[in-house]
């Protein structure tokens, strides 16, 4: 087979040349790749890093979408950046910015703020099911935020959604239990086409009302807590994320040359680099992995940002903890396996001991039964002997009485005979 040589991670490798490799051939990282100094640049951000950093401390930022958007907002705010959605206001993108997890809910906020368009029915609720109406003052505060923003950071969360069937309007989250109406409230998964159309509408409104603003999209790595589909949550989550990521990728490809649209690969950085990236609930990202993601964003997008060395320190720290957690889990599994072997061995010993004890108890039981049976036999024999002795004694008594009777009769006969002789003599 014909092969050709290529460089990866400073090493020369060979692979098949049966097919044309194209102008861009970027290989998937190996385990060795994870330890290379240019790993993030080469395997994570390649093709996505902006030509120059554009987020300054003065840049007005609006960030909302899934709960991962909150992490970015908090980090940038704490680092001194101008995050408008961290200010004290009543806009829903501030109050519930991490609860608008589907593209329909995100689009609703842009349409409400700039077009004064809102759903025909009340379908906006908070995290506790409280009603969020269509208050004009809150709409104007939302519009003010959007009108000031020079950067929109939008994080997409999921594709599963509940909607009002008569109107087709989509809920932010699920339907509150006390408001659920089975006749009109339905569940479905947004399609690729719907998601793509919503992304185009969102970007179109931003271009119309904030033509100089930049937009940065990301996909939240946090999986579904549960699915309303009749399939396993893991498989439903895979479809949910794939729908978002594929639609977003198609959308980005059609606008890649405009210089105002960007993608931050937080989803891939969390799900594809680490092996033990989750906390114990297997949903939330470990703090060290999250910190690396935030520093990666600051290094590539913010000015002055941070040095690459600081970002790589965060990456290496997260990687060390990842390996340590993996080792800890393996040790725990080894200990657990050793404990299981010890438990099984103890169970076998106890089983043999129990068998011996049961055998001894059974032998004792049989011995007692034999003793009881012998005692019963002896008692029966004694009773039989006693009965025989009594019978013999009775027979002896009868015999003596018969002899006595015979003797008496003989004496009587003798007496009669003598009397008769005496009478005859006279």
Identify whether 268 is part of a domain. Answer: yes
| CA dist 180 → 15, 129, 160, 184, 267 (Å) | 58, 11, 17, 8, 33
pLDDT reading at 335 higher than 80: no
Instruction: Give backbone dihedrals phi and psi of 148, rounded to 5 degrees, phi first.
Output: -90, -25
Q: How far apart are CA 168 and CA 175, in angstroms?
A: 14
Helix runs in 174-282, H state only: 192-209, 233-254, 266-271
Q: How far apart are CA 81 and CA 59, in angstroms?
A: 7
Q: How deeply is 327 buried, as exposed, middle or buried, from its count of CB atoms within 10 A (0-12, 13-18, 19+)?
A: exposed
The per-residue pLDDT for 416 is: 59
Compute and round to an integer the Cα radius of gyration of the chain: 48
Which pLDDT band holds residue 280 (cuts at 50, 70, 90)? very high
The per-residue pLDDT for 337 is: 64
Q: How far apart are CA 189 and CA 240, in angstroms?
A: 8
Which pLDDT band holds residue 13 (cuts at 50, 70, 90)? confident
The domain total for the chain is 1
Which of 242, 325, 264, 327 is closest to 71 using CA atoms?
A: 264
Identify whether 353 is part of a domain. Answer: no
Measured N-to-C along each axis, helices 192-209 and 233-254 cross at an angle, to the nearest 10 degrees, of 40
Bond prior to 410 in cis (omega within 30° of 0): no
pTM surpassing 0.85? no
Q: How far apart are CA 251 and CA 247, in angstroms?
A: 6
4 bridge partner residues: 15
Q: How far apart are CA 389 and CA 392, in angstroms?
A: 5
Identify whether 372 is part of a domain. Answer: no
| CA dist 136 → 85, 140, 320, 326 (Å) | 18, 6, 51, 52
Identify whether 100 is part of a domain. Answer: yes
The per-residue pLDDT for 25 is: 83
Tens digits of per-residue pLDDT, 73-115?
Answer: 999 999 999 999 999 889 999 999 888 999 999 999 999 999 9
Tens digits of per-residue pLDDT, 245-269?
Answer: 999 999 999 998 889 999 999 999 9
The per-residue pLDDT for 260 is: 95
Which residue range forms the structural domain that includes residue 240? 44-306
Identify whether 97 is part of a domain. Answer: yes
Identify whether 37 is part of a domain. Answer: no
Identify whether 323 is part of a domain. Answer: no
The per-residue pLDDT for 139 is: 97
Which pLDDT band holds residue 422 (cuts at 50, 70, 90)? low
- Return mean pLDDT, the chain: 88
Tens digits of per-residue pLDDT, 205-220?
Answer: 999 999 999 999 999 9
Which pLDDT band holds residue 367 (cuts at 50, 70, 90)? confident
What percentage of the chain's residues is helix, strand, coil (to nearest 5)? 55, 10, 35
The per-residue pLDDT for 358 is: 74
**Over residues 361-380, mean pLDDT:** 77
pLDDT reading at 382 higher than 80: no
Which pLDDT band holds residue 327 (cuts at 50, 70, 90)? confident
The per-residue pLDDT for 415 is: 61
The per-residue pLDDT for 381 is: 80
Q: How far apart are CA 423 and CA 72, in angstroms?
A: 160
Q: How far apart are CA 388 and CA 370, in angstroms?
A: 26
Whether the Cβ atoms of residue 77 and residue 109 lie closer than 8 Å to each other? no
Identify whether 333 is part of a domain. Answer: no
Which pLDDT band holds residue 301 (cuts at 50, 70, 90)? very high
The per-residue pLDDT for 42 is: 95
Please report, for the domain that includes residue 223, its CATH number.
3.40.50
**Over residues 29-53, mean pLDDT:** 95
């Amino acid at each position: 087979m014909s092969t050709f040589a290529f460089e990866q991670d400073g090493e020369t490798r060979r692979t098949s040349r049966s097919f044309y490799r194209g102008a861009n051939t970027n290989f998937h990282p190996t385990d060795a790749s994870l330890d290379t100094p240019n790993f993030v640049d080469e395997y994570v951000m390649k093709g996505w890093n902006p030509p120059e950093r554009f987020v300054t401390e003065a840049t007005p930022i609006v960030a909302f979408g899934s709960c991962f958007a909150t992490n970015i907002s908090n980090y940038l705010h704490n680092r001194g950046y101008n995050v408008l959605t961290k200010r004290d206001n009543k806009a829903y993108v501030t109050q519930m910015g991490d609860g608008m997890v589907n593209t329909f809910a995100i689009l609703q906020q842009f349409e409400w703020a700039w077009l004064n368009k809102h759903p025909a029915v009340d379908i906006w609720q908070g995290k506790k099911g409280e009603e969020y109406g269509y208050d004009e003052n809150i709409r104007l505060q939302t519009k003010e935020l959007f009108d000031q923003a020079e950067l929109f950071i939008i994080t997409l969360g999921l594709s599963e959604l509940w909607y009002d069937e008569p109107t087709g309007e989509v809920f932010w989250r699920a339907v509150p239990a006390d408001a659920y109406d089975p006749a009109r409230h339905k569940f479905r998964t947004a399609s690729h086409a719907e998601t793509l159309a919503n992304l185009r509408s969102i970007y179109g409104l931003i271009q119309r009302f904030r033509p100089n603003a930049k937009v940065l999209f990301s996909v939240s790595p946090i999986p579904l807590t549960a699915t309303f589909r009749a399939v396993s949550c893991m498989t439903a989550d895979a479809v949910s994320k794939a729908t978002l990521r594929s639609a977003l990728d198609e959308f980005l490809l059609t606008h890649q040359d405009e210089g105002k649209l960007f993608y931050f690969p937080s989803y891939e950085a969390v799900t594809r680099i680490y092996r033990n990236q989750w906390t114990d609930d297997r949903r939330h990202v470990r703090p060290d992995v999250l910190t690396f993601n935030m520093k990666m964003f600051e290094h590539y997008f913010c000015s002055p940002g941070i040095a690459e060395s600081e970002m790589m320190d965060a990456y290496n720290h997260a990687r060390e903890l990842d390996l340590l957690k993996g080792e800890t889990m393996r040790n725990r599994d080894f200990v657990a396996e050793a404990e299981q072997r010890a438990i099984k061995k103890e169970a076998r010993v106890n089983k043999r001991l129990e068998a011996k004890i049961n055998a001894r108890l059974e032998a004792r039981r049989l011995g007692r039964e034999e003793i009881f049976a012998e005692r019963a036999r002896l008692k029966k024999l004694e009773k039989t002997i006693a009965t025989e002795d009594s019978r013999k004694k009775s027979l002896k008594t009868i015999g003596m009485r018969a002899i006595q009777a015979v003797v008496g009769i003989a004496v009587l006969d003798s007496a009669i005979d003598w009397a008769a002789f005496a009478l005859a003599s006279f």
